[in-house]
Amino acid sequence: MTLERIFGVTDRKILVIGATPIGEATAALFNELGATAEIADVAPDEQVIADAVADFVARHGRIDVMVYAVTRIGTYALPTMSLDQWDQVQDANLRGAFLAMRAVIPAMQQQGGGAIVAVSTMGSVHPVLKGNGAYGASKAGLNGLVRAAALDHADDGIRVNAVLPGAVPVGDPPADMERLGGPATQPGRLMLGMGRAEDVASAIVYLASPAARFVTGQMLALDGGFLIS
């Protein structure tokens, strides 16, 4: 077996939804490896996401990989969190992922398969910051959606997985975010230091490549050792 046969993504058509640091690093890495990757920086709107997917398929003839990289963070004290703050986090992290999967799966079914990778977070399986109720819940919901989609569409040749980054830059925090501390701020918890968006991009490429053909419905933790610290 050659490296290209195992890990190659040459000529794959990839749509990355979300112009986050991870989204941008992922698209750049795919393009460096010979794929065609584009970023759609769209709102979690039903028609907007459907149009972005339809336009991509119309121009490229197929969609081999969809990466949902949208991430809206926000730490808010639970008793004072507004419904709008809760809804904005849920809309970006979970509602948008559902809309993206719903739009892309029929195209992948028609072409005989594909791969979907969603960017979740370590905070979906283990609290890392205080005030992460909205964020952790939204990404935990995303994990559940990933597992359900993986089960529902295995027979269609569609693999669905998620990456769970830990201390990795995900974009600018909202202006109304509260800084409340938590385990991730404790000395020694980040055993390998801060991660980079490129670290996550490498894992996403793996999950989209032939090397991961036997992997679906999984949550790949990229936490720099947080869970064992």
Please list the active-site residues: 135
**Packed helices 197-208 and 21-32: angle between N→C axes, nearest 10 degrees:** 50
Q: Amino acid identity, residue 109?
A: Q
CA distance 226 to 33: 30
- What does the buried/exposed string (b/e) look like for 105-120 if buried means 16 or more CB atoms within 10 Å of the residue's CB? bebbeebeebbbbbbb
What tokens appear for 132 in the block?
């992460």
User: For 183, which DSSP code?
Assistant: G
CB atoms within 10 A of CB 78: 11
CA 109 to chain centre: 21
| 3-class state of residue 159 by DSSP | strand
CA distance 98 to 66: 12
Sign of the CA dihedral with 56 first, then 60, 66, and 69 last: negative
